[in-house]
Amino acid sequence: MALQHRRIALIRYLQAQYLHAPLEARHHEYVRDVAAHMSEETLRRVVGEARVRAGRGHVPVADRHDMAEVSLLER
């Protein structure tokens, strides 16, 4: 996270969520900030990419259900 690789950090965060890994408040705060600086379309693409990387299948465009998975990121 310290290197400011925002998109990658967000993908890793989502993967950690999918794996039920322990996350700290600083992780949630960081990705909220990352998401706040992304367009909704970009955020949807990143969520879709994270789902693919997590083995949850290809999702070309995240729908509202997908966005619920990252409810902590909603603005």
pLDDT at residue 4, rounded to an integer: 54
Model pTM greater than 0.95? no
Q: Give residue 22's pLDDT.
A: 93
Residue 45 within a domain: yes
* Nearest Cα residue to 44 out of 62, 69, 71: 62
**How far is 39 from 55, CA to CA, in rounded Å?**
25
Report the number of distinct structural domains present in the chain.
Answer: 1
Q: What is the pLDDT along the chain (75 residues), one digit of tens a residue?
A: 444 588 888 998 998 888 889 999 999 999 999 999 888 898 888 888 888 887 765 544 444 444 445 554 544
Helix, coil or strand: residue 20:
coil
Is residue 62 included in any domain, yes or no? yes
Answer yes or no: is 1 within a domain. Answer: no
Domain coverage including residue 44: 6-73
Q: Is 28 among the domain residues?
A: yes
In a domain, 13, yes or no: yes
Residue 17 counted as domain residue: yes
